Amino acid sequence: MTARLKAAVRKQRRPLNVLVNEALRSGLDGVDRPGPARRPFRTKGFNLGPSLVGSLDNVEEVLSRVEGEDHR
């Protein structure tokens, strides 16, 4: 039991299960309501230039270029 629940039980002098059920109901009411409309998050892309190691599609090739042929 959390400290907030213990405090609520002491303060309101009501059974724990009643308080938990009321908290769940009020929480579910908030879930059912739609939230405020948000604008979609957008990021701007930019060109990083050519890759310094060539194509990154083949990991083994990249490792051999960066670490040498004995990368294993």
Q: What is the pLDDT along the chain (72 residues), one digit of tens a residue?
A: 788 888 888 999 999 999 899 888 888 877 777 778 889 999 999 998 887 777 788 888 888 888 877 766
User: Whole-prediction pTM value?
Assistant: 0.41
Cα 46 to the chain's mean position, in Å?
A: 26
Instruction: Report the amino acid identity of residue 61.
Output: E
Cβ contacts of 61 within 8 Å, gap of 6 or more: 54, 55
Residue-range domain boundaries for the chain: 1-33
Q: What is the pLDDT of residue 71?
A: 61
